[in-house]
Structure 1
Amino acid sequence: MKDVNFSEIYKKAKNYEDLVSSYLSRIIKTPAMSNNEKDRIMLLKSMCEQIGFDEVKIDGLGNLLARIGNGPKKLVIDAHIDTVGVGDQKAWTKDPFSGEIKDGYIYGRGASDQLGGAASMLLAGKILKEMGYKSDKWSIWFSFTIIEEDCDGLCWKYLIESEKFMPDLFISTEPTGLKIYRGHRGRMEIEINLKGLSCHGSAPERGVSAAYMASRVALGIEKLNKELKPDKEKFLGKGTVTVSMMKVSGPSQCAVPDIGYLYLDRRLTTGETKELAIEQIEKVIKKYAGINQSEYNINVPTYSKPSWTGKLFEQELYFPTWKFDETHPFVSLAKKTYQELFEAKAVVDKWTFSTNATCVAGRYNIPSIGFGPGLEKEAHAPNEKIAISDLPVAAAFYAAIAFSVEDF
């Protein structure tokens, strides 16, 4: 590890609490949902340039990348900067885009998920520049990525496959409550199309109702969910499957419906693959619907929407599971950095939801951890907020680990 005073890093971060709070408030005030992030990306680009990052650029898809250092190896610290929508405006007691600072919290859509991470990254960059960070081995890249809420990891699949930008180490700044996270379940979305036989509603016995068929399949999926088992380590927990949408249609309201449709949300634990999940659904259909393969179709949809730059990069809606052992060298390094920086033992855990690490770690097995300000429970909730005190702590960790990786 390069000889550096961690207490100086932490002191600087705490002294900049008001500044990092202002960063976050500004970011919240510029709305940015998936595929409409241009204004927020341009704001962040300007902020990075004002701080003095060594390089600031926007890729073809519309992700923002900011670099400090000139080494060949890449430590990437990532925040997605798109958010979900507001939802029911009446459920909010504060303006979702006010960035209001009050009583030790900052309020607004994305405060915890996960613009707080982005603001802390900006402060970490400022601290590294002030401390004259240099390395012959490493460059520290800060990625402000897009489309995560619609399709987690697509931004990184694009960066790795199209831009040939491959991290050596990866930190997600999604909310962890300032714990070190080392994995999360994967997920996939599944469409089921069922084919019945329509007839006049006055004589339903002449047809095969797709409505009853879909209902039986839905009940079979409920049963399957109860039968799914946790991972052997019992760290990520059990996989789950639920019907998130169901509809039927037919020639008229006076006819037996002949088309059934179900949409599934499948969460995958360690050892569960896309192929296994589809096989399980096929068994449910055959058992509960009693139809042959020509009368149903199972499909994993593809995400296909152009980004704010107009670039179209498609991805199947399958997001692999990932985890690294607590003894993994990068997890161990993160724990050691935390201990030396804060003079306290780090808590190691996992996310309940999914992140961009599903691509970086799940698809490419790049050593990854999570460490972020804010709480998971605030994500997508009305009156979303983040504790101001979390922001400098996260910033200090990002700056410190930039030095810690020197001998990794």
Structure 2
Amino acid sequence: MKVNFNEILAKTESYKSEMFKFLRDIVAIESFDGKEGAVVLRIKEEMEKVGFDKVVIDPMGNILGYAGTGEHIIAMDGHIDTVTYGDIENWKFNPFEGYEDEECIGGLGSTDQKGGMASMVYAVKVLKEMNLLNEVTLVVVGSVQEEDCDGLCWQYIIEQDGLKPEFAILTEPTDGKICNGQRGRIEIRVKTHGVSCHGSSPERGENAVYKMASIIKDIETLNTCFKDDGLLGKGSVTISEISSTSPSRCAVSDSCWISLDRRMNSKETAESCLEEIRNLPSVKVAGATVDMYKYAEPSYTGLLYETEKFYPTWIIPENHELCILANKCHDNLFGSKAVVKPWIFSTNGVSIMGRHGIPCIGYGPGHEDQAHFPNERTWKNELLKACAMYASIASTYVDEVVNK
């Protein structure tokens, strides 16, 4: 099938007003984790408007729009939940009302990650108008709960909905790059135990906070010792939380725990990360317990799908057929190849590729430094480029990869 890339660009340009309006509409709808229901319905409305063949909201609340009837199933994903806006005093405009000028659209989630959803939905309109879905079935997914537990949505989609595409495009922001992987991560709890007594005689007890002090220092040192794997760089570890308990403010602390955010490269595993903490001399001396957190929060539909807070590393090589395909499309559309490199943050690829081995590539509108940042914005020209890329990759996949 011969794809006319210039026509794809022209079609994309012709739908820009509708695309930008749709993005502003979904930015205006609050969709923190557990509150995505209203934005899902707005996305469903737009999917039906542009001509999706089928739109399904699964029991977890993910929205899946199907286009085409071909035997080759491919998927595109954009999470539709957002973090909160934090301190409103840091915002120069209302995070939900946002703004629009000639260059940008601003608002909470405009980059992370609703811009990707707007571009995906209108890529389907382009594909439908040009009759380019004869050999594939494209599933556009608006996933939930990603900010709290990345990948949980796709664990459910693959394991319970039974959707197993041949590959997936992740539409998180990429700064114009093609992303081919990411470091994994694990959330670890370290807990020390003490014996409480009256604060006037602390020597009678065992202070759990004091036991934690040397552990904290050892973890700070550990972060300087990781080795570069040549693919994803070094792992890292940082303390993200610290808490303690005591019968009162006039008593010795009887327990203390810290939370660790441990980022993993391709040479590290969940078990190796847990063992390196357990083997710290200070942990052994303190008799501290070390374990992995679990996630057990219901989605907005009330469905509870528990998982360990382990998010596997994943990466595909730059010469993987999907990276080559994406870069051919980029070259045909824009006259240049894109840089291929991993994301610095975590995505739903931890489940799609990391847990289930389904190849992923990433290409999305917006810049990584806008994610979780006040005065968030995305760029209109990047929304259009992403839309054209999605339509091009979906329409050339069979010829360039399957039938090569």
Same fold (TM over 0.5): yes
Q: Report the equivalent of 2:8.
A: 9
Give the conservation status (yes or no) of the 8 Å contact 2:277–2:283.
no
Provide Cα deviations, 1:33-67, integer angstroms capped at 9, x if missing partner.
11110000000001000111111111111111111
Equivalent residue for 1:361?
353
In 1, Cα distance between equivalents of 2:62 and 2:338: 31
The code of the aligned residue for 1:339 comes to: D
Gaps of 5+ in 1: none
**8 Å contact from structure 2 (residues 197, 205) kept in 1:** yes
Q: Which amino acid aligns with 2:329?
A: T
Report the alpha carbon displacement of residue 168 of structure 1 after superposing the two structures with TM. Answer: 1.0
Partner-residue secondary structure (3-state), 2:197? coil
Residue identity in the other structure for 1:197 = V
- Contact 2:8–2:388 under 8 Å retained in 1: yes
- 1:259 corresponds in structure 2 to 255
What is aligned with 1:31? 30
What CA RMSD, in Å, does the superposition of the two structures yield over aligned residues?
1.4
Residue type of the partner of 2:236? T
What displacement does 1:252 show? 2.9
Q: Which runs of 5+ in 2 are unaligned?
A: none
In percent, how many aligned pairs have the same letter? 42
Cα distance in 2 for residues equivalent to 1:289 and 1:399? 55
Equivalents in 2 of 1:99, 1:53: separation in Å? 28
Matched-pair contact (CA < 8 Å) for 1:216–1:289: no
Q: What is the DSSP-based 3-state SS (H/G/I as helix, E as strand, rest coil) of the residue aligned with 1:219?
A: helix
CA contact (8 A) 1:214 1:260 kept: yes
SS in 2 for 1:178: coil
Task: State the Cα distance separating 1:288 from its structure 2 match.
Answer: 5.2
After superposing the two structures, state which structure 1 stretch, 62-71 or 8-17, moved more: 8-17
- Confirm or deny that 1:384 pairs with 2:379: no
Q: Within 2, Cα distance between the matches of 1:260 and 1:247?
A: 6
Q: Is the 8 A contact 1:189 1:264 kept in 2?
A: yes
**What residue in structure 1 maps to residue 176 of structure 2?**
178
What residue is the counterpart of 2:204 in the other structure? 206
Offset of residue 298 of structure 1: 1.7
Report how far residue 78 of structure 1 moved: 0.7
Q: Structure 1 runs of 4+ off > 6 angstroms?
A: none
Deviations 1:144-194 (A, max 9, x none): 111101110100000111111111101000000121000011111111221
The residue number in structure 1 matching 2:222 is 224
Equivalent position amino acid for 1:270 in 2: S
Contact 2:214 2:282 in 1 (8 A): no
Relative to the length of structure 1, the TM-score reads 0.95
Query: Which residue matches 1:341?
Result: 333
- Is 1:91 aligned to 2:90, yes or no? yes
Q: Deviations over 1:111-131 (max 9, x none)?
A: 100111001011101101110
Pair 1:159–1:288, CA change in 2 (3 A) = closer
Query: Structure 1 residue 290 and structure 2 residue 291: aligned?
Result: no
Equivalent of 2:147 in 146, 149, 173: 149
Please name the residue that 1:323 is paired with: 315
- 2:278 touches 2:284 (CA, 8 Å); kept in 1? no
Distance in 1 separating the partners of 2:225 and 2:66: 47
Secondary structure at the counterpart of residue 243 of structure 1: strand
1:52-71 matched pairs, under 5 angstroms: 52-71=51-70
- From 277, 282, 301, the equivalent of 1:309 is 301
- TM-score normalised according to structure 2 size: 0.96
**Alpha-carbon distance between aligned partners in 2 of 1:289 and 1:88, rounded to the nearest angstrom:** 40
Structure 1 stretch 170-179 or stretch 246-255: which is displaced more?
246-255
Say if 1:249 and 1:257, in contact at 8 Å, map to a contact too: yes
Contact 2:244–2:257 (CA under 8 A) maintained in structure 1: yes
Q: CA deviation at 1:324?
A: 0.4
